[in-house]
Amino acid sequence: MFDAVLIGLSQVFSWPAIGYLGFGIFLGVWLGALPGIGGVTGLILLLPFTYTMEPVSAFALMLGMFAVTTTSDTIASVMLGIPGTVASQATILDGYPLAQMGQANRALGAAYTCSAIGGVIGAVVLMFSLPVIKPILTLFSTPEFFMLSLLGICMVGSLSGSSVTKGLVIGAFGMMLGTIGEETFNGEARYYFGIEYMLNTPPLVAVVLGLFAIPELLELATKNTSISRVPSDQSRGGGMLQGIKDTFANWWLVIKGSVLGVYIGMLPGLGASIVDWAAYGMAVQTTKGENKFGRGDIRGVIAPESANNAQRGGALIPTLTFGIPGDFAMSILLGAMLIQGLRPGVEMLTTKLDITFAMIWTLIIANIASAILLMMLGRQVAKAIFVDGHLLVPVVILFVFMGSWLGNQSMGDLILMWIMGAVGLFMKRSGWPRPPLIIALVLGPNMENALVLSNRVYGTLGWIDRTPSLIIGVIIVLTIGVTALGLLRTRRTPLTANNSLDGKLSIEGAERNPLIAIALALFFLAAFVTAGVLAIDFHPTNRQYPIATSVVAVALLIIILVKEMMAARAERRAFASYAEAWRAALDKAGMRLGLRFVLWIAVAVFGAWLIGQKLAIAGFILAYLCIWGKRSLRFALIYAAVGYLFIELFYDRTMHIPFQHPYILKLIGGGA
């Protein structure tokens, strides 16, 4: 085994493998930093180039790129409050408030350091786990995968806001969104209402970008501010070096998060989705004394960033040993293995053990190299938090539109992005946490499949007394209970980072606006009741999951409505009527400007359909800078031209993305 370790290392450092590794690292840093692209897109783009390559070079390129995307995706999470990938959702809870406090460099320094350490620990644990991992994986069957998915949703719902019940309802809403489209077992179409686009489950990227990006961009557009809520000369304790010191000061948290990340990464279909939340929950629940989680606590960055990089090593374990991809990205790597003539299983642990260790060394080198590269660039990147927000909004909108388009190249994705942006605005302004919707949408389809299979194999709920399922069930109850008790203890403490920044930070689920919260609760109630009633006519196999989800959500919504109505009644006393109170609530939440901004996005989406994305996005940039940003026409024209050129060169000429055929060409006879 030791010989295989050394041979694998020498193969990685031999030419051309080391060159491909360097290129993969550079590409991964770039792709991970762009919202909506990430590692999976990179793997898809690189796969065709590996056909004629040697195995070590092929995996140096692909793993080198893929491993570092969970390091560079921190840039969007910290700087913009937009999850760079699914595995960086938890980072926004404390990373973005730190950026708003002028401490983006500190957050990025800590994230890069613990990402490198986590990636190395993950690879080392992978190295020593290969011989003993099979007995652990055989303990899990379909009931346990269902329970683990439920644990992930409950964990995020409990931890990501100031209300456990609201978090669980949003998780249930994400689960219901996951039931839209054709069902896996018999192909029955559910909730598609005759619309062909809705025959498929809503695409994750469009939902994420709409739900998170548009509300955060609204903050920059309407408040005439930068990302940081304090001037650069007033920010204190926010340097890159401080972030590195924070990491080593919390070394035990880094180790715990890394080890947790490896073993969660081994769970097929679950690892990347829940790993950062599991680590975040572990940090919250094991921290003694006063903490500021959700308000700019550096430990809220360290724990998830340690875990999500270590997860890469864990996800390789079932892929290499059993041929079971841990997630979609691993399925692409499995395809690359088969292209190279490699067979997962005994071969990768015996005759091809040197290639296995070459992959492990690739993970180690890529994580260290990317952290160093990003730290060198970090100071310049972090300066963006002090840039006028009006200059950032157009370029982020460009990435939001193109990121939403990349998956299916469908106008439906752009419309969905806009709808989720409007929903996200109402959620943010009324204290409904957004992260549970994302993880539930990711886990929901596999969760339903696991439930159906479990009921078929063991009888309806006959699997509930399996020991592993019972243990996970106890953990779910404890997670919800402990988090609820923690919220009760801290209810009297304002959910802000410090007194000087009171009310200025974008803290998930912290805003209180009972009237808007009631309106949103009634919307969700109508949606769940309608979904439950429609599900009655589904095939018996297909209605169990949506009906059960609807019943639980309706019960929770009744509790929420009672609570919010009591709060609204107290606020109503200050006004002559509910109509006046409603107008005041809209003004307090800034909804008038918010809805105006959402309307602008709608016009841009319509423009993409009418004249194509390139012209529509360039037109949005031009109009935004002139009207919202109050910039000169000359400056706006130059900015718009640069945006158009970037789309042309990167998305069109480099990535070869098909674009929307402008409908206006059909009107003038230029299209079929």
Whether 571 is covered by a domain: the verdict is no
| 500 and 615 share one domain | no
Q: pLDDT-based confidence at 443, cuts 50/70/90? A: confident
CB atoms within 10 A of CB 181: 19
626 within some domain: yes
Q: What is the mean pLDDT of residues 27-56?
A: 70
Same domain, 109 and 199: yes
Find where tokens 């279909």 sit.
269
| Domain co-membership, 215 together with 320 | yes
Query: Which of helix, strand or coil describes residue 352?
Result: coil
Q: How far apart are CA 623 and CA 616, in angstroms?
A: 10
pLDDT at residue number 605: 95
Averaged pLDDT for residues 211-230: 72
Instruction: State if pTM tops 0.75.
Output: yes
CA geometry: angle 646, 367, 66, nearest 5 deg:
50
Mean pLDDT across the chain, nearest whole number? 80
Tokens 């069930």 correspond to what residue?
A: 473
Same domain, 147 and 276: yes
Residue 538 included in any domain: no
Only one residue has tokens 């299983």, namely: 345
- Closest CA relative to residue 518, chosen from 570, 593, 592, 483: 570
**Stretch (H or E) spanning 189:** strand 189-190
Predicted pLDDT of residue 407:
72
Q: Name the domain count of the chain.
A: 2
- Asked if the structure places residue 543 within a domain, the reply is no
Last residue of a domain, one of 466, 482, 512: 512
pLDDT in tens, 256-311: 888 888 877 776 655 666 777 778 888 887 777 667 777 778 888 888 888 877 87
458 backbone φψ class: left, alpha, beta (φ>0; ψ -120 to 50) = alpha
Residue 386 lies in a domain: yes
Task: Determine phi and psi for 491, rounding to 5 degrees.
Answer: -60, -30
382 or 179: which leads in pLDDT: 179
Task: Say yes or no: 476 and 611 in one domain.
Answer: no
- Note the Cα 78 to chain centre separation in Å: 12
Q: What is the mean pLDDT of residues 628-636?
A: 92
Whether 478 is covered by a domain: the verdict is yes
The DSSP symbol for 232 reads: G
- Indicate the pLDDT class of residue 499, thresholds 50, 70 and 90: very low
Give the count of beta carbons closer than 10 Å to the beta carbon of residue 183.
20
* Any domain includes 261: yes
d(CA 374, CA 112): 7
Kindly state whether residues 607 and 485 are assigned to the same domain: no
Question: Where does the pLDDT of residue 603 fall: very low under 50, low under 70, confident under 90, or very high at 90 and above?
Answer: very high
Q: What is the pLDDT of residue 121?
A: 81
**pLDDT more than 70, % of the chain:** 82
Q: Containing H/E element for 177? A: helix 164-177
User: What is the pLDDT, as a whole number, of residue 497?
Assistant: 37
User: Is the pLDDT score of 495 beyond 50?
Assistant: no
pLDDT band at 207 (very low <50, low <70, confident <90, very high): confident
Q: Cα(20)–Cα(61) distance, rounded to whole angstroms?
A: 5
Q: Looking at 480, 512, 544, which one is the last position of a domain? A: 512
Task: Name the residue range of residue 641's domain.
Answer: 591-667
CA distance 599 to 623: 13
Q: What per-residue confidence (pLDDT) applies to 622?
A: 95
* Strand partners of residue 651: none
| Boundary-marking domain end, from 482, 512, 542 | 512
Confidence band of 496 (pLDDT split at 50, 70, 90): very low
Would residue 451 count as lying in a domain? Answer: yes
